[in-house]
Amino acid sequence: MVEPLSARVDCAGLLHSEHMGGDPRFLHSQALSEVEALCATAHWCYARGWVPATSGNFSLREPGPGIGRVLITPSGHDKGALQPDDLIEVDANGRVVAGRSKPSAETGLHRVLYRARPEARSILHVHTVWNTLISGHYAPRGYAPLQGYEILKGLAGVTTHAHLERVPILANTQTYDELCDEMAEALDEYPQAHGVLLSRHGLYTWGQSVAEARRHLEVLEFLFEVEMRRLTGGRMLEPDAIGADEARG
């Protein structure tokens, strides 16, 4: 019987990987560093005010083909206090394998993303002021356009500031089965996208490592702020005021 991944996170936060195949010494070092990086990223996001009031969720997928097993943050957990042994392990079908709590309510969205983007190893979801505003502003268009900024080259595969990054926007809903279907459709329609926005809710982004996912997150959040400052002339507007501006324009 294969031992659950998260069951091998001991009380000191060490991730043991003897049953993950290949060279266990290499995998032990790699897996441990990624789990630590995920927790450090959660703390970093919390410090920036990007996951207020226990919002947001973060995950890490084990190496190998298919979705495999996933470590994900627990529901209702303070991301500023996240530790390796707080993570919940779920299998490819979303069933809890190990952990002391219940996984994020949005675990299904992570599974959809891993299936649609098999190269992804980590997913980050945050609730920021700027992604909330820009997703509300561009919701009628269906995506947020980002173009002409040098920092776009921080996104994997982008080599020029002239790149048009279209970040799809989905209507927010608490009906997660419906949202999972819409997420899958958006990822298929926008194969070059590095993120997905939920309108007036938050951003999902991903990467081939925690570091790459964190870089994508920082690039996109920087650009969301730049765009909203440009669109509002530097003023801070409430989402309803932005909607009124759209109606007038």
Locus of tokens 């441990």: 32
Asked if residue 61 and residue 9 are part of one domain, the reply reads yes
Average pLDDT of span 170-187: 94
d(CA 7, CA 14) in angstroms, rounded, equals 10
What pairing do the DSSP bridges indicate for beta strands 143-147 and 122-126?
unpaired
Same domain, 28 and 78: yes
Cβ-contact 135, 200 below 8 angstroms: yes
CB 73 within 8 A of CB 139: no
Cα–Cα dist 215/130, whole Å = 17
Could you tell me if residue 131 is inside a domain?
yes
- For 68-117, write each residue's pLDDT tens digit: 889 999 888 888 889 998 899 988 777 888 767 777 788 889 999 999 99
Report the C-alpha gap between 244 and 240 in whole angstroms. 6
Residues 134 and 66 in one domain: no
Do 99 and 122 belong together in one domain?
no
pLDDT at 54: 85
Shared-domain flag, residues 82 and 205 = no
The C-alpha atoms of residue 130 and residue 23 are separated, in whole angstroms, by 43
Write down the pLDDT at residue 224.
98
Both 184 and 236 in one domain: the answer is yes
Tracing tokens 């996208």 back to the chain, one arrives at 193
Instruction: Give pLDDT tens digits for 128-137.
Output: 999 999 999 9
In a domain, residue 5? The reply is yes
Higher pLDDT, 23 or 171: 171
Q: How many CB atoms lie within 10 A of CB 104?
A: 22
- For the chain, state the CA radius of gyration: 18
| pLDDT of amino acid 81 | 87
Query: Is residue 189 predicted with pLDDT exceeding 50?
Result: yes
Q: Does 130 lie in the same domain as 229? A: yes
Residues 85 and 134 in one domain: no
* Nearest alpha carbon to residue 106 among 98, 93, 94: 94
How many other CB atoms are found less than 10 A from the CB of residue 128? 23
- Domain ends where: 105, 135, 152? 105
Confidence category of residue 171, pLDDT binned at 50, 70, 90:
very high
Distance separating alpha carbons of residues 203 and 130, to the nearest angstrom:
10
> Mean pLDDT of all residues in the chain?
83
Is the model's pTM score more than 0.75? Answer: yes
Q: How many domains does the chain have?
A: 2
CATH code assigned at 128? 3.40.225.10
Tokens 């926007």 belong to which residue? Answer: 169
How large is the average pLDDT for residues 197-221? Answer: 97
Helix (H) or strand (E) holding 167: strand 164-170
Where does a domain end: 68, 83, 105? 105
In a domain, 237, yes or no: yes
Q: Which domain holds residue 213?
A: 118-249
Domain assignment present for 137: yes
Helices 129-138 and 210-231, axial angle in degrees (round to 10): 60
In a domain, 112, yes or no: no
- Asked if 85 and 184 sit in the same domain, the reply is no
